[in-house]
């Protein structure tokens, strides 16, 4: 799956604050994500994130 820094991921499950959207700050074996609702940052393994992605929104099209 092609996920890049700066993409906004819409997930299947909500963050506890109620937001479904997360900004990708870092990608690799783990993703560093920032919740678009409350601003909480977290590191999550790639495998776990790829299962739960509903949609990828590119912010910087090439």
Pairwise CA distance, residues 20 & 30, whole Å: 19
Kindly state whether residue 45 falls inside one of the protein's structural domains: yes
Looking at residue 61, what is its pLDDT? 57
Looking at residue 1, what is its pLDDT? 80
- Tens of pLDDT, residue by residue over 2-59, are 899 999 999 999 999 999 999 999 999 999 999 999 999 999 999 999 999 999 998 7
Pairwise CA distance, residues 13 & 28, whole Å: 22
- Tens of pLDDT, residue by residue over 2-15, are 899 999 999 999 99
Kindly state whether residue 26 falls inside one of the protein's structural domains: yes
Looking at residue 58, what is its pLDDT? 87
**Entry pTM:** 0.87
Domain that holds residue 12: 8-57
Kindly state whether residue 44 falls inside one of the protein's structural domains: yes
């Amino acid at each position: 799956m092609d996920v890049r820094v700066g993409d906004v991921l819409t997930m299947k499950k909500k963050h506890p604050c109620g937001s479904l959207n997360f900004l990708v700050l870092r990608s690799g074996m783990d993703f560093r994500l920032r919740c678009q609702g409350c601003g909480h940052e977290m590191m999550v393994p790639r495998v776990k994130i790829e299962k739960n992605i509903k949609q990828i929104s590119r912010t910087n099209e090439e």
